[in-house]
Amino acid sequence: MDKKDLLGRLVKNGLDFLSHSIEEFEGFPKYSVIHFYAAVELLLKARLMSEHWSLVVSKQQEPDWERFIAGDFQSVALNDAANRLQKAACSGLADRELRAFRAVRTHRNKMVHFFHETDSAGDDKLRETIAREQLSAWYLLHRLLADQWRDVFEPWSEQIGEIDQKLRERRKYLHVVFDQLAPDIKEYAQEGFVFRQCPSCEFMSQRHEQVTNVFYTSICLVCRFSQRHLAIPCPQCAETVDLVDEGFAECDSCGKHLEPEHVVDALIDHDAAHRAAREGDDSWDLANCGDCGSYHTVVRVGDAQYVCTHCFGEFESLQWCGWCNEPSTGDMDGSHVFGCGHCEGLSGWDDS
């Protein structure tokens, strides 16, 4: 059995669990949650397997090919899978994705090992909770499969598209919620908030603030899906561009492609940075991001507050590499010997 066959079987198994989750939603909502989360883990493992089969094996065991193909091994759980996707596959999960998948895991664990608090509220309330949760988690998982990991999952794009259409039908269970929230949405709009269509549940219920050059979090009042936003002037035409969850966007007015460097220029306090540099204060220097690994994308935006203009991660402090002296949001313990994400440290110097 070769790697391609193994990958195909793993993806097929994950999609099969998703299909069962959809079928069970009406009559057996609890099992829908259990099978949905199984699908999430299997598809994350499939992405790891596309790099190397050993990445699927738990760190508590030595990888063994014979045991692996026999299914006699312990596989990675969500947190370890996310860690390996970041460090080994260099295609990690964003914080919002990991939070959404952990939420599904929490509800699944309650149902398997204890009980879920919505059991006593009846199936309608349980289905509403599940619909909200699965729409948000699937929106993020589908983006991974169709965009970030497209090269891996392209052979199954048709089945993934069919599942996407079926899961979108979940929104009918949230119509009542949307209708009930109509007075609240009207009141928020009178206070100056703007409402846009939520990419998860597709209702006009995603609440936005009208601010420029300030990070804010939009929240859908129906499904509670959230995103990080930053509105900045386009460096070419000065029209406002909304960046969502990352520092890349295209200006709708002139077509200018914005990247993290443009976000840095819009956010940094040039006067404060210049004064700090003259006084030997390096806390305003551009830093590297320990979360996404990007180079010089972290900018200081206030007192002891730093933001990565690539992944929109927020941090309270920086550390400096003990070898190359590059600032970073990551842990720099041992960096003198082993380096950071942008140098190899003393050990690399010795090897050369």
- How confident is the prediction along the chain (352 residues), in pLDDT tens digits per residue? 677 888 999 999 999 999 999 998 888 888 888 999 999 999 999 999 999 999 999 988 899 988 888 888 999 999 999 999 988 888 888 888 888 899 889 888 887 766 655 555 456 777 778 888 888 889 899 989 999 999 999 999 999 999 988 888 878 878 888 998 999 999 999 999 999 999 988 999 999 998 989 899 999 999 889 999 999 999 999 999 999 999 999 999 999 999 999 999 999 988 988 898 899 888 899 999 988 889 999 999 877 789 999 999 999 999 999 999 999 998 899 999 988 878 888 887 766 5
CB under 8 Å to 222, separation ≥6 — which residues?
132, 174, 177, 178, 181, 198, 201, 203, 205
Cα separation values, 266 from 99, 231, 236, 301, 337, Å: 29, 10, 12, 10, 36
Q: Hey, what are 109's tokens? A: 């664990």
Q: In sequence order, what are the beta bridge partners of 307?
A: 299, 314
Kindly report, residue by residue over 165-178, the tens digit of the pLDDT.
Answer: 888 887 887 888 89
What's residue 115's pLDDT?
60
Query: What span, in angstroms and rounded, lies between the C-alpha atoms of 135 and 334?
Result: 42
Which of the 8 DSSP states describes residue 75?
A: B
150: left (phi over 0), alpha (psi -120 to 50) or beta: alpha
Q: Write the pLDDT tens digit of every residue in 133-142.
A: 888 889 899 9
58 CA to centre of own chain: 22
152-198 pLDDT, tens per residue?
999 999 999 999 888 888 788 788 889 989 999 999 999 999 999 99
Nearest to 73 by CA among 6, 122, 173: 6
Considering all CA atoms of the chain, what is the largest pairwise distance in Å, rounded to the nearest integer?
68
Q: Which residue is listed with tokens 């990565």?
A: 308
Chain-centroid distance of CA 311 in Å reads 9
Please list the residues that pair with 320 across neighbouring strands: 327
pTM: 0.70
Q: In this structure, which topology does domain 265-351 adopt according to CATH?
A: N-terminal domain of TfIIb (2.20.25)
How many CB atoms lie under 10 A from the CB of residue 217?
Answer: 13
Three-state SS for 194?
strand
> In the chain, where are the structural domains located?
3-170, 192-248, 265-351
- Rounded to whole angstroms, the Cα distance separating 70 from 99 reads 32
